[in-house]
Amino acid sequence: MARIVSRALPFASRSSLRLPLPPPFPGAALVRSAAAGSPLPPAAEAALAASLLSWRGHTATPESSIAAPPPFAGFLAGIRRFRKGRRGQASAKRSQPQDAPPPPPPPPPPPKEREIELVARIGIEEDMPDDPEVLNIVEILKLNVPMAMKIALDGLLDSSYSTRDTSISDVGKYDKVEVSVLLCNDNFIQDLNKEWRDVDCATDILSMSQYIPDLDVPILMLGDIVISVEAAERQAGEKGVTLLDEVRVLVVRGILHLLGFQHESSNEAAAELEKEEQLILKSLRWKGKGLAKSVLDSSKPQTDSLDGQVTNDLKKAGSLRFYKPKFKYIFCDMDGTLLNSKSQVSARNAEALREARSRGVNIVIATGKARPAVIDALSMVDLSGRTGIVSESSPGVFLQGLLVYGLEGRRIYKRNLDQEVCREALSYSIENKIPFVAFSQDHCYSMFDHPLVDSLHYIYHEPKAKIVPSIGQLLETAEIQKVLFLETPERISSALRPYWAKAIEGRAHVVQAQPDMLELVPPATSKGNGVKVLLNHLSISPDEVMAIGDGENDIEMLQLASFGVALANGSDKTKAAANVIGATNDEDGVAQAIYEYAF
Amino acid sequence: MTKAIPKIGSRKKVRIGLRRNARFSLRKSARRITKGIIHVQASFNNTIITVTDPQGRVVFWSSAGTCGFKSSRKASPYAGQRTAVDAIRTVGLQRAEVMVKGAGSGRDAALRAIAKSGVRLSCIRDVTPMPHNGCRPPKKRRL
* Cβ–Cβ contact B140 with A under 8 A: yes
Q: A28-42, A184-198, A419-433, A439-453: lowest mean pLDDT where?
A: A28-42
The CATH number that applies at residue B40 is 3.30.420.80
Average pLDDT over residues A29-37: 31
Question: What pLDDT does residue A191 have?
Answer: 83
Query: Do the Cβ atoms of A215 and B102 come within 8 Å?
Result: no
Average pLDDT over residues A38-47: 34
Question: What pLDDT does residue B108 have?
Answer: 78
Quick one: CATH architecture of A329-414+526-598? 3-Layer(aba) Sandwich (3.40)
DSSP structure class, residue A494: I
Question: Matching CATH topology for A117-284 and A419-521?
Answer: no
Question: What pLDDT does residue B69 have?
Answer: 61
Report yes or no on B41 lying in a domain.
yes
Distance (Å, rounded) from C-alpha A271 to C-alpha A269? 5
CA distance B5 to chain A (A): 21
Express each pLDDT in A74-86 by its tens digit: 333 333 333 333 3
- 3 state DSSP class of A513: strand
What band does B30 get if pLDDT is binned at 50, 70 and 90?
A: low
Beta bridge partners of B48: B41, B63
Question: What pLDDT does residue A316 have?
Answer: 38
Residue of B nearest to A17 (CA): B56
Of A251-255, A441-445, A465-469, A538-542, give the range with the top mean pLDDT.
A251-255
Express each pLDDT in A455-485 by its tens digit: 777 777 778 787 777 778 777 777 788 888 8
Report yes or no on B18 lying in a domain.
no
Closest CA to A57 of A89, A19, A11, A81: A89
**Is residue A487 scored above 70 in pLDDT?**
yes
Average pLDDT over residues A378-395: 74
Interface A-B, measured as beta-carbon pairs within 8 A, has a size of 230
Report yes or no on B104 lying in a domain.
yes
Question: What pLDDT does residue A157 have?
Answer: 66
Number of domains observed in the structure of chain B: 1
Burial state string for A389-428 with b = 16 or more CB within 10 A and e = fewer than 16: bbbeebbbbbbbbbbbbbeeeeebbebebeeebbebbbeb
Report yes or no on B19 lying in a domain.
no
Express each pLDDT in A124-182 by its tens digit: 877 777 778 788 888 888 888 888 987 888 787 666 677 777 777 767 778 778 888 88
What band does A534 get if pLDDT is binned at 50, 70 and 90?
A: confident
Backbone angles phi, psi at A113, to 5 degrees: -70, -30
Closest CA to A87 of A181, A158, A13: A158
Per CATH, the number for A419-521 is 3.30.1240.10
**Residues 77-96 (B) with a CB less than 8 A from some CB of A:** none
Question: What pLDDT does residue B1 have?
Answer: 41
Express each pLDDT in A182-206 by its tens digit: 888 888 888 888 777 777 788 888 8
**Is residue A19 scored above 70 in pLDDT?**
no
Q: Which of A3, A4, A32 to mutate to test the interface with B (most CBs of B within 10 A)?
A: A32
Average pLDDT over residues B23-29: 37
Which CATH code, of 3.40.50.720, 3.40.50.1000, 3.40.390.30, 3.40.47.10, is assigned to A117-284?
3.40.390.30
Residue A434 and residue A541 in contact, taking contact as beta carbons nearer than 8 Å:
no
Average pLDDT over residues A105-117: 49
Average pLDDT over residues A438-449: 78
Nearest to A210 among B101, B137, B139 (CB): B101
Beta sheet of B47-52, edge-to-edge order: B58-63, B47-52, B35-42, B95-101, B120-126
Backbone angles phi, psi at B123, to 5 degrees: -160, 155
For chain A, give the mean pLDDT.
69
Closest CA to A178 of A117, A116, A119: A119
Query: Do the Cβ atoms of B103 and A238 come within 8 Å?
Result: no
Distance (Å, rounded) from C-alpha A85 to C-alpha A87? 5
Distance (Å, rounded) from C-alpha A289 to C-alpha A60? 26
Query: Do the Cβ atoms of B48 and A221 come within 8 Å?
Result: yes
Q: Which domain holds residue B110?
A: 33-124
Average pLDDT over residues B69-91: 68
CA distances from B6 to A5, B2, B34 (A): 40, 12, 14
Judging contacts by C-beta atoms under 8 Å, the chain A residues touching residue B66 are: 32, 63, 65
